[in-house]
Amino acid sequence: MPDGEVSNTDNPGEVSHSFLSNVKPLLFLVGIFFMNFLARIILSPLMPTVEKDLKIGHAEAGSLFFLISFGYCLGLLISSFVSSRLKHRTTILLSSLGVGLTLILAGVSRELWWIRSILFLMGVAAGFYLPSGIATLTGLVNPRHWGKAIAIHELAPNLGFIFAPLLTEALLGWRSWQGILMVIGIASFVMGGVFLLRGEGGDFPGEAPNWGMVRNISQEPSLWMMMIFFSLGIGSSFGVYSMMPLYLVSERGMERSWANTLIGLSRVLTLATAFVAGWLTDRLGVKRTLKMVFLLSGLAIALFGIVPGSWVIWIIFLQPILTTSFFPPAFAALTRISSPHFKNVAISLTAPVGFIIGGGAVTAGLGVMGEAGLFSLGFILYGGLLLIGAGLVRYLKFTNDHG
């Protein structure tokens, strides 16, 4: 294994023991991850407008998210090969620039087939980031602070969930939906340049998977468990969020601007819950935190399809607080189910399944049910799956069991 990776993961004494000293370099990763995530979810608040402009239905709208998730899955799968040759730092930069370029291309496209192709490629570029980002993060921070560091890293998607609908409503008055894609693409380019000049960490190569390594890791039952958990967790946040504006507009009769405003404001409190989830992970242990998150998230999503009238507004605010708490304990668990040398490989094997199912299949499935007039039932059934996930947590095992 490369010397850089050994020193950053196996010897905690070689990284700073002061958590505060690591906050600044972590914020550069947060910036990159924010643009990466915003690029992948911006179509959600734009979708009512996109449907009208492209003359597509709910099922076709869901398929666009599936293409992004499928590309993201492929990017995650090949990211370890890229980082083993270019180092994690260069891989992060490549992801940021690739996302920017593809969004700009999508912004000048008018044909649906071309937009679909570009969105798939954008997903591939976005997928390069996460394994290298997590490897860089855990290389910078002492293992006893990983829960809190991952919570800071999770500020990025939480901010993305907030800004996507609010940015949409702010810009749609003077830019088309494709113009908004171009604005985000340019911003991703700028963020990549900032990271190149001021960012820290990641100056070591990843471990490219080989059949022996994959065979050894795949023999860990907990890896397969984490694939299930990531599918459920990503579906509860990304999948539900992606179709929520369409559900509120088409099924609940809300105006698009009001729905997007509510969704954006509902995510403000998630900035705090990410830290609470990180603290709980360090305090209570991974298993207890995951079980609690699945149980409460499942109930909230099921209620989203059940509660009548204006009661849905309460669920709009409650559901994201619970579902965004999944990622700090989930990533902490993923770093503990195999050898520290191969955590970027474990992420590259696990996260793709989670995103293709949770971010792609769940989103497309909700779209199909919406097309059939069963939007509410889709949310109820998915909430039930999360309750089943809560019962499966007890079977999760770690290489060095920290609970």
d(CA 346, CA 80): 10
Looking at the predicted structure, is the pLDDT value of residue 401 above 60? no
Cα 236 to Cα 323: distance, rounded to the nearest angstrom: 6
Q: For residue 7, what pLDDT is reported?
A: 36
> In the prediction, which pLDDT does 174 show?
84
CA 354 to chain centroid, in Å, comes to 9
Q: Please give the pLDDT value at position 68.
A: 92
What are residue 141's DSSP bridge partners? Answer: 16
Over the stretch 140-191, which tens digit does the pLDDT of each residue have?
877 777 777 877 887 888 788 889 999 998 998 888 889 999 999 999 999 8
Range with the poorest average pLDDT among 21-35, 202-216, 235-249, 325-339 = 202-216
pLDDT of the residue at 23: 74
> At how many degrees (to 10) do helices 129-140 and 146-153 cross?
140
**For residue 221, pLDDT beyond 90:** no
Strands (E), 158-282: none
pLDDT at 123 over 90: yes
- Please report, for the chain, the start and end positions of each structural domain, with discontinuous segments joined by +: 18-395
Question: What span, in angstroms and rounded, lies between the C-alpha atoms of 89 and 203?
Answer: 6
For residues 217-232, give the mean pLDDT.
83
Tokens of residue 365, six digits: 């499935």
| 3 state SS of 334 | helix
State the amino acid at position 348 in one-letter form.
S
Residues 395 and 195: their CA atoms lie apart, in Å, by: 40
Please tell me which residue, 237 or 294, carries the higher pLDDT value: 294
Decide: 88 and 202 in contact? Cβ < 8 Å: yes
The pTM for the full model equals 0.75
SS3 category, 245? helix
Question: Does 76 have pLDDT greater than 70?
Answer: yes
- Residue 400 has a pLDDT of 56
CA 80 – CA 229 distance, rounded (Å): 22
Question: What DSSP letter does each residue of 273-300 carry, written as one string?
Answer: HHHHHHHHHHHH-HHHHHHHHHHHHHHH
213 contact partners, CB below 8 Å, separation of at least 6: 207, 342, 345
User: What pLDDT does 11 receive?
Assistant: 40
- Alpha-carbon distance of 133 to 83, in angstroms, equals 11
Q: How far is CA 298 from CA 1, 128, 155, 251, 368, in A?
A: 41, 30, 22, 21, 21
Lowest mean per-residue pLDDT among 14-28, 68-82, 291-305, 373-387: 14-28
CATH fit for domain 18-395, picks 1.20.210.10, 3.40.50.300, 1.20.1250.20, 3.40.50.720: 1.20.1250.20
- pLDDT of 336 reads 77
Q: Residue 359's closest CA among 155, 194, 159, 123?
A: 123
* Predicted confidence band of residue 4 (pLDDT cuts 50, 70, 90): very low
Give me the phi and psi of 141, to 5 degrees please.
-115, 140
Q: Which of the two residues, 206 and 299, has the higher pLDDT score?
A: 299
**What pLDDT is recorded for position 17?**
54
Distance CA 245, CA 346 (A): 33
Instruction: Compute the average pLDDT of residues 302-310.
Output: 86
**pLDDT tens-digit readout, 335-363:** 777 655 556 667 767 877 888 898 888 98
Q: Residue 101: is it exposed, middle or buried by C-beta count within 10 angstroms (0-12/13-18/19+)?
A: middle
How many secondary structure helices (H) and strands (E) does the chain include?
Answer: 20, 0
